[in-house]
Amino acid sequence: MRVKVDTSKCQGHNRCYALAPELFDVDDLGTAFVLNDGVVPDGLEAKARLAEKNCPEYAIVIED
């Protein structure tokens, strides 16, 4: 599984970083970026889905 942040949509609500800091980080402006090239380590799929479902801007995309 891979995750992506659509930076044209991300407005820095920081929900993803709060819920899944293993998968996301945020820069100085609060914009999110993925860790590990977006590859979701085994066992963290549920966290990736949770982040996707909590982003107010629909900015997180999951590729199975």
Q: x/- binding map, residues 24-63, to other proteins, per CB under 8 A?
A: --xxxxx-------------------x--xxxxxx-----
13 belongs to the binding site for ligand SF4 (CB under 6 A):
yes
Own/partner long-range contacts of 18-26 (Cβ < 8 Å, ≥24 apart): 19/47, 19/50, 19/51, 19/54, 20/44, 20/47, 20/48, 20/50, 20/51, 22/47, 23/47, 23/48, 23/51, 24/51
Nearer to ligand SF4, 45 or 50 (CB): 50
- For ligand SF4, the binding residues (CB under 6 A) are 5, 10-16, 26, 32, 55, 57, 59-60
